[in-house]
Amino acid sequence: MSEDLEGKKILVIQTHGVDTPTRTYSPIYYAVAAAAMEMDVMLWFTMNGTNQLKKGEAEKVSLVPESGVTLKSMLQMALDNDVKLRVCQQSLTLWDMQPEDLIDGVEILGATSIISLALESDHVMYF
């Protein structure tokens, strides 16, 4: 790739949660990869994706149990690589969650924020 990707904005929308573990890893992995390419990356959790941010839940999910890699370790890798984790306020209500139920490093935004974020991003990926 000859194009300079540094500073490009990528928005990754995650709608799948702990009940579908095979669908939770890829969005996080791609977000981390984009961050490694020096892009500005945000992972937006909504709908069922919200439940993976509840304290204690991500530790229970492992795509390949023998690997030792859990959903929690993937989320931590995202945070360690400066991926912004954001959750939809209305989705918290859907899961009967309160701000104190969230893992550290997650910011809550209102549902209308996704419109602005999508319009400001260079690319949106939806899972």
Write down all domains in the chain, each with its CATH number in brackets: 9-126 (3.40.1260.10)
pLDDT score at 68: 84
- Alpha carbon distance 38, 8 (integer Å): 8
C-alpha dihedral, 59 to 30 to 66 to 50, nearest 10° = 20
Give pTM, 2 decimals. Answer: 0.93
pLDDT score at 45: 98
pLDDT tens string, the chain, 127 residues long: the values are: 447 888 899 999 999 999 998 899 999 999 999 999 999 999 999 999 999 999 999 999 988 878 888 999 999 999 999 999 999 999 999 999 999 999 999 999 998 999 999 999 999 999 9
